Amino acid sequence: MAGLVDNIGKLLHWSFVEKFPPGSPEFGLLVTPLLVYWALAVFYDVLDHLDLPITRRFKVVRKVRGRENIPSKRQVVTRVLVQQLAQFVVAYVAMVLDCDQCAKRTAGNVAQTALQFLFGMLVMDTWQFWIHRTMHVYPVLYKHIHSHHHQLLIPYAWGALYNHPLEGLLLDTLGGLVTLYGGMMSCQAGAWLINFATAKTVLDHCGYVFPVNPLHGLFPNGAAYHDIHHDIKVRASEHQSAARRL
């Protein structure tokens, strides 16, 4: 109990900037994903508003557009910010309570980091696949929780994390912790993977398929896939890896 009280005291008194300065693995896990998300989201939002002929040709367009999105963009931004705040707080508390996590598991060489990255991707995909699939299989979960995400009938970049708060907690927030600990990853490798996953989820919902985007070639469930998924509400895999075959 004394140790818990001491750790809570550290949580209340430590300066974030002093403890997790820019460039540190902790900063990469806590702050960089937020910067990656909004930088990419703003970029694709600008493309949508400019609607240039050179980019319009790569826009995912349905033959029948169907119904418009249910939530307003203000509601989407608010919900995403709430999820990101919860994600930041949970990760920050975890790092303070387990303050030696990054010191205990330091980055190895390039090969070791790459193996950790790939194994962590498998852990993350398995976690997210089964939660996502469960949300689709059980009507009560879909109706009350996952249907919030599918209110974006036409997905766009900065709605990638528009979820019910409980789904955001299970799928992304706890999913990140499960990946870091379950994948036995160094904080450096974990930061690379979390930021990669953040970028991928924005690109999956951006509504564009550019020929120079390597992720669309490596992973079949890209922007076109997600456009169909939001339209007909099928499929569950995130990274389209081994979890889909289990």
Whether residue 93 lies inside any domain: the answer is: yes
Location of structure tokens 């009507």: 139
Whether residue 220 lies inside any domain: the answer is: yes
First to last CA, the chain: 42
Whether residue 198 lies inside any domain: the answer is: yes
The pTM of this model reads 0.84
Domain count, the chain: 1
| Distance from C-alpha of 78 to C-alpha of 200, rounded to nearest angstrom | 21
Whether residue 10 lies inside any domain: the answer is: no
At 119-178, the pLDDT tens digits run 999 999 999 999 999 998 999 999 999 999 888 888 889 999 999 999 999 999 999 999
H/E segment holding residue 171? none
Whether residue 127 lies inside any domain: the answer is: yes
User: 213: domain range?
Assistant: 25-245
Whether residue 15 lies inside any domain: the answer is: no
| Residues 230, 234, 237, 241, CA torsion sign | negative
Report the pLDDT value the prediction gives residue 171, as an integer from 0 to 100.
94
Beta carbons within 10 angstroms of residue 196's beta carbon:
18
pLDDT band per the 50, 70, 90 thresholds, residue 46:
very high
Amino acid code (one letter) for 178: V
Structure-token pair, residue 226: 């997600």
**Across residues 214-228, what is the average pLDDT?**
68
Name which residue leads in pLDDT, 156 or 62.
Answer: 156
